[in-house]
Amino acid sequence: MLISIDVNSETPIYEQLKEQIIMGIASGALKPGEQLPSIRQLAEDLGVNLHTINKAYNQLKADGLLTVDRRKGAVVNFLAQKPTAQQKDELRRKLRPVLARAICFGLSEQEIEDLCVRTYNQIIGGNDE
């Protein structure tokens, strides 16, 4: 999986990295048990600070998506379990402003649902656009 960072983006680099790893896991480009580059190696490859990579990896670990071990590095977790109520609440909290924005743009409930289904299918199919 190729990771690219937009240094001109308003989105912090660690967030860009997290989003790309999450997309890789969701699309199947990153498989359970797959080892990610070491913090040091990825920082060098991307030309960013070690602490930036460390922050992204640790947040993904806290979300249950990665296991981080000193010897093995970061490894994609097997995600057979159902999300917790807390994880669902977090998703809902992050989704609310996106849905509010769609409503402000005049999208109907059906249009929002169609957009969600199309986007879901694109992610599962490994299609970025």
**CB contact set of 79 (below 8 Å; sequence gap of 6+):** 25, 32, 64, 65
Q: What is the pLDDT along the chain (129 residues), one digit of tens a residue?
A: 688 899 899 999 999 999 999 999 998 899 999 999 999 999 999 999 999 999 999 999 998 899 988 888 899 998 756 888 988 999 999 999 999 999 999 999 999 999 999 999 998 887 665
| Angle at alpha carbon of residue 124, lines to 122 and 90, rounded to 5° | 95
The CATH architecture one would assign to domain 13-76 is Orthogonal Bundle (1.10)
